[in-house]
Structure 1
Amino acid sequence: MSFGPPPSMYTQSALTAETQQKKRRRTWLLGLFALVLVAAVGTGGWLVWGGGGKGADASNRSHGPQGPLDVRETVEKRPADPTGKMAVRFSVDDLGPGEHYEMPGMWATDRILAKGINKTVIGLRMGTDAAPGDEQWKLPLDGPICGYTRRVTGDNRTAVLFRANDRGGAYCNHVAFLDLDTGREVWETDFPYSKLGDAKGLATGGDDQDTPSVTLTHGTVVVTWGGGTDAYAMDGGRRLWRTTSTGACQDMGAAGGDALLVRQECWNDDAPLDSTDAVNYKAHKVDPRTGRGLWTYSAAQGVRDIDIPSAEPPVIAVQAGGIGISEMLSLDAKGRTRAVIRLQNGTYVGECSYDDYLSTEDCPTIAVGDGQVFLRSKESGELTNSNWIIGFDLATGNTTEKFDSGPGSLLYPVRMSGDKLLAVRVSDQHIMPSGLVGLDPQTGRETPYLYFDLPEEADLMTMTEYNDIVVQDGRIFFGVKKVDGPAKGRPKWVYLALGIESMAVR
């Protein structure tokens, strides 16, 4: 398996391609047989292969029409039939010892599941059981993907960052805006890069650079690169503005959507480098069309890091103690602390993305909406697992509605859908079907959207630390963030992405 030269699965010989096609047909049949067996014996038919490809009829767009310059927000409807079937699958059956592939980013439309793989973005058509070579489209980039955003526009476009080339040490200094339905690159441009650390100078050959990030807000693609922030018009890629990091502070990450908050790291040269006082953190609200600063929130001395799960309303995730998020802060319209929500030494869990990609707003199990922030609790139980999701009022910090998973399953927040919370219910050891559910903070009611039971090979794809989970247009998708071959021995078969939709979809 390879994604982009050298070597390249996409430029393999016709003989190798024919061999792989035979393998894929065999794998598909074996996988289909296994799923039929599971349906007959284990789950009563919760997950089967079916037709598809015309798009789900189980969602509608959010409260008003969304144009091409809007950041997409959708409200999912309950499907007519909650029984799940596979909507799309992407797998390989020849992952060899020592092989490793980065798979940053996953996005969905009503027709396409898109996935980043090394230096390529691919599109998979709904209703297909795909392997490398079966893609609806492929968008090759000059170098590996080095940054991405989960955000998508109203007309299904998004942005990724990529390196100047695929040689070791190449700088991450290009941004591409692409169409997820067609795989067409709408525009691309380069941006500056700064030296790693508190230095303000540009990196030169061989110097590590500050990690850049990208996000979307209305009409604007925003890139932070350490030495400042650049903003580009979605319609054409023209640079709208550039702000330069000043003093001891550097722009390191941003959160978009309905507003723009830039995360800043500020260096204190008088403190020891290994001290928690060496770096202070700020969240700086910026007008996305002009770059003008509106207000700045400064975290307390000693805070180890901050993330921004929501720019509007502004919510800050704070690491004030050991490992992980220790409290959530809601801010008012002027950046002042409104409420403090303490996670009680791990009783409640807030997870944000901590990998090689700087994504300040990627907090997959923190959902903000309806005037609340929703978190999951840690797992409890000895023989069977259980947990709960709980809401906290952004005005007061008080707890609101609590949703229990019940014994034998776990609940994980996924995202808001209007004023409802979407969550994935993961069954313990296939005792019950897993599912996508809607939780109503006003009534405390849980509504099933999709029931399914993942094949054994895909069990670990529900783990939010190592996979992307996306709900869009009546479907739920699971995709790995990276994949490794076996330590030794024969090549193995691996799921890379999997989508599930309602049996009602034809």
Structure 2
Amino acid sequence: MTQPPPPPPQQPPQQGGFGPPQQPPAGPQPPQQQPPAGPQPPQPGYGYPGAPAPHPGQGFPQAPAAQPPAAPQPGYGYPGAQQNPYAQPPAPPSPYGPQPGYGHPGGPGVPGQPPTVPLGTGGGGKNHAALVIIVAAAVAIALIVGGGIWYSHSSRGGRAQGSGGSTNSPDGGTGSGGLSGGKEKVPSDPAAKVLFQVPLPDTKDVTPTSGSWLAGGVYAKTGVDRIDGYDPAGGAVRWTLKLPGPVCAASRQVTGDGRTAVVYQPSDAAGAGCSQVAGVDLAKGTRLWTRTVRTGDSPVSFSNVTVSQHTAAAGGLYGGAAFDLGSGKVLWQPKPGDDCKDAGYGGGAKLVAVRRCGSYDDPVLHIQTIDAVSGRVVSEYRMDQGVQYASVVSTDPLVVAADVGHSAGDGSGISDYFSIDGRTGRLLARIPAPRDTYSGRCDGIDRVEACKQVVAGGSRLYVPTAERSGADGRGNGVIAFDLATGRQTGQRISSDEGYTLSPLRMDGGNLLAYERPPYDKGGRIVSIDGSSFKATTLLENPAAQSVRQAETGMLPDSAELLYGGGRFFMSAVYAHKASTVGKEYLVLAYGTDG
């Protein structure tokens, strides 16, 4: 199988896509090595996302003004459905600092960034000099207080090693072994064993294998041209769904009855691209339906797909389409000649579209909450000019990440987070995320719903801090932001020495995170209490060298990590030619005894 073909001549070239990764980040190493470069996976191309070349920075733009609610519109994707939503120019930015919605005046700034202090336009002399001194002192204090969490290793506090005490169960009653606000139980012993391993498929070319799910009583994982359902406890193959070509994109979302959607390449791939959208029943291992939509005589190629309620929605450079997940009925599809196209969708509790309008090089992005059945636009937020790509971190609460003006400069796709009221389309807060302070990755270029290591839930945004190295070893932390104000909540936690924390998902009111290990230990899954922010270990991988070597080949910012019911699954998103250095894996599975 060759890599997916390039876009037709009339299509602007895409960045990212299905290529081998470029520069792998360093892994953990023994402390005597300095600087710690870490053991690398056997083949540098494996498992790492491609890092687009940095673009010239365009400065830090003013925060966008809050947007008015959008008027109800007719069915999505049909004539009359999309009037020009941005014919009215936005209000000019204020010269006196952030606009409404960007937190609140006087709120604490992000570490490493001085607070905005407006200066008067008149006067001078001693009063002006005194004011300058006060401002300088305020900046210094803000930097010391804000940055202190990076250099002081705050106590984890309250780490329970499988205490299994009596806490609130998911149904609101009193159960044994659970955590307050979460469904995942605390085991009597968090020590895990290897449940099974699946070798990486040997392919002539780098081939995408993205897509993994815990649903329908199985752990399901895409291969080169197939999806396999494994017994999550032992790895026995329960079913295999063969496909005519490789899976180009897979929904991260799955319905309660175990249904999801994928996009794959047909066997006659010449000129067809990733044009086949299919519904999949993960409980049975069957393909529910396959659909192709066309503009004129050409099939539309899609680069991402998601599921919301009982709708599968796929998007790409040529626009988006949606299908009934049960029957495959087309709910909407791209309209010829439309100047606006759905680049992609975020799914789950709600359906959100990232809609690109205008030219390819200078688009205007609209973040639209959509009725998943009718396609009606419920609300809309228009992003400022200079944002070419955006990623959906969460649809409920609605949080979007973007690299504003290419200012991130590192290929992460994140310079700022935008908290949006999904009901009205009003901007609630804009949260800067400078790369020397925070980590996380979003591939908004062609995969709208592909953020890793950042999680939104309830009224909070959980962001990992950048990895640091000091006298007490390597480490980082996780900080919570209030989505209504953009301010830090004061909730923060530091990793244990030598570990790095990566948020995975919410478990009720708790945050689940993966701790990537130091050179001599196994990784861990921890549950961080949503109120106290104390961590409890749910699972700890074996420390044997062969097990550690396999685990450290699955990096949190590229591999797919799933945890549920005391089992932890790590899987690769690319297959490639077999390495002569060491064995590589498509799936690694770990579990505790109870």
Query: Could you say which residue in structure 2 is the equivalent of 1:407?
Result: 497
Confirm or deny that 1:285 pairs with 2:387: no
TM alignment of 1:192-207, pairs within 5 A = 192=294, 203=298
Provide Cα deviations, 1:93-146, integer angstroms capped at 9, x if missing partner.
Answer: x958x56443121112374221112221112223436xxxx7332111122212
Q: 1:443 to 1:202 in 2, by over 3 A?
A: farther
1:227–1:245 Cα contact (<8 Å) kept? no
Partner SS, residue 442 of structure 1: coil
Selected match of 1:441 from 508, 530, 534: 530
Note the C-alpha offset of 1:327.
0.7
Note the C-alpha offset of 1:185.
1.5
Q: 1:242 to 1:305 in 2, by over 3 A?
A: closer
Query: Could you say which residue in structure 2 is the equivalent of 1:263?
Result: 354
The answer for unaligned runs of 5 or more in structure 1 is 4-59, 65-72, 195-200
Q: 1:243 to 1:370 in 2, by over 3 A?
A: same
Query: Could you say which residue in structure 2 is the equivalent of 1:123?
Result: 229
Selected match of 2:282 from 180, 184, 206: 180
Partner SS, residue 468 of structure 2: coil
TM alignment of 1:244-263, pairs within 5 A = 244=335, 247-263=338-354
Note the C-alpha offset of 1:334.
0.9
The aligned amino acid for 2:210 is P
1:163–1:172 Cα contact (<8 Å) kept? yes
The aligned amino acid for 1:296 is E
The aligned amino acid for 1:312 is D
Q: 1:405 to 1:247 in 2, by over 3 A?
A: same
Q: Return the alpha-carbon distance in structure 1 between the equivalents of residues 357 and 515 of structure 2.
A: 40
Note the C-alpha offset of 1:260.
1.0
2:275–2:302 Cα contact (<8 Å) kept? no
Selected match of 1:77 from 170, 185, 205: 185
Q: 1:107 to 1:80 in 2, by over 3 A?
A: same
Query: Could you say which residue in structure 2 is the equivalent of 1:313?
Result: 397
Q: Return the alpha-carbon distance in structure 2 between the equivalents of residues 405 and 285 of structure 1.
A: 36
Question: Which has the larger displacement, 447-456 or 421-430?
Answer: 447-456
Q: 1:354 to 1:479 in 2, by over 3 A?
A: farther
Confirm or deny that 1:304 pairs with 2:394: no
Note the C-alpha offset of 1:264.
1.3
Note the C-alpha offset of 1:485.
3.1
The answer for unaligned runs of 5 or more in structure 2 is 3-167, 173-180
Selected match of 1:140 from 216, 225, 242: 242
The aligned amino acid for 2:347 is G
The aligned amino acid for 2:552 is L
Partner SS, residue 458 of structure 1: helix
The aligned amino acid for 2:562 is V
Selected match of 1:237 from 308, 328, 337: 328
Query: Could you say which residue in structure 1 is the equivalent of 2:251?
Result: 149
Selected match of 1:331 from 405, 420, 443: 420
Q: Return the alpha-carbon distance in structure 2 between the equivalents of residues 449 and 429 of structure 1.
A: 20
Q: Return the alpha-carbon distance in structure 2 between the equivalents of residues 480 and 102 of structure 1.
A: 9
How many residues matched? 410
TM alignment of 1:185-224, pairs within 5 A = 185-192=287-294, 203=298, 211-224=302-315
Q: Return the alpha-carbon distance in structure 2 between the equivalents of residues 116 and 91 of structure 1.
A: 13
Q: Return the alpha-carbon distance in structure 1 between the equivalents of residues 375 and 206 of structure 2.
A: 39
Report the TM-score when normalising by structure 1: 0.74
Name which one, 1 or 2, has greater alpha-carbon Rg.
2
Q: 1:352 to 1:74 in 2, by over 3 A?
A: farther
Confirm or deny that 1:452 pairs with 2:560: no
Q: Which has the higher strand share?
A: 1
Q: Return the alpha-carbon distance in structure 1 between the equivalents of residues 429 and 510 of structure 2.
A: 22
Query: Could you say which residue in structure 2 is the equivalent of 1:67?
Result: none
1:163–1:170 Cα contact (<8 Å) kept? yes
Provide Cα deviations, 1:325-347, integer angstroms capped at 9, x if missing partner.
Answer: 01101012211110111113431
Selected match of 2:563 from 471, 485, 492: 471
Note the C-alpha offset of 1:151.
0.8
Provide Cα deviations, 1:278-301, integer angstroms capped at 9, x if missing partner.
Answer: 222221221111111122211111
Confirm or deny that 1:370 pairs with 2:461: no
Report the TM-score when normalising by structure 2: 0.64
Confirm or deny that 1:352 pairs with 2:442: yes
Confirm or deny that 1:385 pairs with 2:474: yes
Note the C-alpha offset of 1:181.
2.8
The aligned amino acid for 2:309 is H
Q: 1:63 to 1:289 in 2, by over 3 A?
A: farther
